[in-house]
Structure 1
Amino acid sequence: MAARAPREDRAIVQEQPVAAIPGTVAKAKKPPICFHCKLSGHINDDCKADLDCVVCTKKNSHVVAKCPLMKLPRPDASFFGFGNNELGFFRIPEFDYKLETPDPAPTALIRVSGGKLLAEAVQTELARFITKEWVWEALPHSDDSFVVVFPSVDELQRMAYVDFTLKNHGVTLTISEWKDATDAEPSCQLDEVWVHVKGVPHAWRHYLGFWALGFVIGATLDVDMYTYRKMGVICVW
């Protein structure tokens, strides 16, 4: 018996991919975007980004690459007041961005007298007569002293300048508040004054020129152009 010819509606037709059609361009698939860290390449469920920014110290906020501080102009320390001896100073402009500066950790200096004591023994004794709820870490500061971070300022002040005699070790511990010797205090406060400027070249007798000349003796805050236009007197603040 002769075989039947295949029906046209049963014919298998393979469609040609769009990219293979001449004159067409296939659109590239966009990578996924994570709404948790705002970065592309993964989704929220797969995100392992740390949002505690080490630059601005904000917690659970953004990754370092997205920190607003990274997009601001970088400030620098400029040298002013070089027009006369003993007037020179370095000036760093005030920052417009409000930084959340963390408070320094309360730190104590523990001195050991009457013998030697290992850091592990100091940690054990602090946990015994202060609190066991804190992870004590004694960092050697010299041959007879250690620097230790306390759980709170109140706890440090309560124990400051108190001697603890350890009979089992034959030594005495003296706790005092420790301050970093590298912290610098301002040597002086700059005065804000009006200064009359003379002998300015004619080509510099304008607002920008007066402003620049003010930096020879200090940091310019303002230029009195009204007085200059009315009376010809150059005043720089």
Structure 2
Amino acid sequence: VRNPYDAIDSYFNLMMTRTHTTSVSEEVRAKNRAAFEEMAMKEIQVWRDFHEYWLAQEIPTLLVRYEDLTRHTDRVMARVLEHALDVDHMHFFCRRIEHCFAAETIEKLGSYKPRSGGIGKALKKYSPELLQKLNVGIVDTMQKLGYGSFLVPNTEDWDLTPLPGYATKLARPRGTVIVNQGDLVRTNELNTNWGQIRRQMGVTDGNPGPCQCWKCKQKEMN
């Protein structure tokens, strides 16, 4: 999971630029604030309903927060692998995990370099009035995910202490869930016409340019 303010802004940049690495300019964003606010009001409902759906499923669940993953990558990934492999400890993999996420080697793993950001950096993109509207109806979900302090519109007051053990294992029976069936979380009413938004904001809706994924970049270099 990721806090909704950064998640929604990241999704906005993804859909506007169709890349994971670039962002809409502040000039373009400022001229079309209404379009961003309309999208945010829809996406906050999607964010809430999506997470509430998975929190309600009767299956073994490990709660991992993006904020913990980016700051304590090795420890969080150890918990993820423990959960996925259904083991009690990761002694065998610890050295391999430490090697993969060492500062001098992580850039060589082939992943793309994401757009610059940071925890709470997107908060300034939301007006106080919009934040107040977004927070209506998500308080309970935010608290369940350990984001209670994030409801305060000042990142200096956010509690960035990682989840206990760097991830929270929810005690659930070993049930099953069938995905991609039933109603969508993002209904037609909550869907955004991104082509129309791009045209309104003056973002070219033609050729999005070369693919920015690491595989395509490697091909260009060879």
- Greater share of helix: 2
- Greater share of strand: 1
Q: Would you call these one fold, judging by a TM-score over 0.5?
A: no
- Structure whose alpha-carbon radius of gyration is higher: 1
| TM-score when normalising by structure 1 | 0.19
